[in-house]
Amino acid sequence: MLAHPLLEEGAFALTVDPFWILVSLVQFGLLYWLLQRFLWGPVTTTLRQRADRIREGLEAAEQAKRDREAMRQEVERLLAEAREEAGAIAERTTKAAEDAAAAVRREASAEADRIRERGRADAQALHDQALAQLRSEVAAMAVLAAGRILGKEIGPEQHRALIERSLDEAGAELRRS
């Protein structure tokens, strides 16, 4: 009967064959080289590239954050300038409106003074005209009355003297009242 080789040496005997150790080492080396060449190399390259892209993305995000902050500050500065400029424009507009209103008031006051002065002059002219007309009518009435009282007509010299005296007396009466 043929016996199995493992059973001949002992049921559980451990034998080390140097040939199989060498084959195992060569297989392990070949597997390591293949894994290094075709798996670990590309995987580590891909991981390195991915890490670089992530780092670049983080740097870009950080730069965008800094840019956004700078832009926010610039917008705030521009808004402050715009507010100041709007305030200055409003102030200039208000001042111009007040100046224009003052000029209109001055012109209106001057025009009112001119109208008052013209009214006074017109009233004085009307007064003088009425007084002259009254004088001529009083003189005519005085001549007529004197002619009737005396029963005769008066000459130009007497007429003028009579008128002058009547007007002087009437002017004195008007001044007293």
Residues 122-144: tens digit of each pLDDT: 989 998 888 788 777 777 777 67
- Token pair for residue 70? 């700078």
Residue 105 belongs to some domain of the structure: yes
The residue ranking higher by pLDDT, 40 or 80, is 80
Residue 85 belongs to some domain of the structure: yes
pLDDT above 90: percentage of residues in the chain: 53
Residue 158 belongs to some domain of the structure: yes
Q: Is the dihedral of CA 87, 91, 97, 101 positive or negative?
A: positive
Residue 7: is its pLDDT beyond 60?
no
Q: Which H or E run includes 153? A: none
Alpha-carbon distance of 125 to 132, in angstroms, equals 10
Residue 73 belongs to some domain of the structure: yes
Q: What is the dihedral of CA 136, 140, 145, 146, to 10 degrees?
A: 90
pLDDT digits (tens, 9 = 90+) for 10-53: 556 778 889 999 999 999 999 999 988 888 888 899 999 999 99
Side-chain-side CA neighbours of 120 within 13 Å: the count stands at 5
- Token pair for residue 164? 């002058």
Residue 64: is its pLDDT beyond 80?
yes
The residue ranking higher by pLDDT, 3 or 98, is 98
Q: Where do we find the tokens 């007309």?
A: 133
Residue 38 belongs to some domain of the structure: yes
**Which residue segment(s) compose the domain that 86 sits in?**
32-176
The residue type of 2 is: L
Residue 118 belongs to some domain of the structure: yes
Residue 1 belongs to some domain of the structure: no
Residue 19 belongs to some domain of the structure: no
Q: pLDDT value at position 58?
A: 94
Q: pLDDT value at position 72?
A: 96
- The residue-averaged pLDDT of 147-164 equals 71
Closest CA to 141 of 167, 116, 115, 177: 167
Domain count, the chain: 1
Is residue 162 within 8 A of residue 142, CB to CB? The reply is: yes
Residue 112: is its pLDDT beyond 80?
yes
Alpha-carbon distance of 167 to 138, in angstroms, equals 8
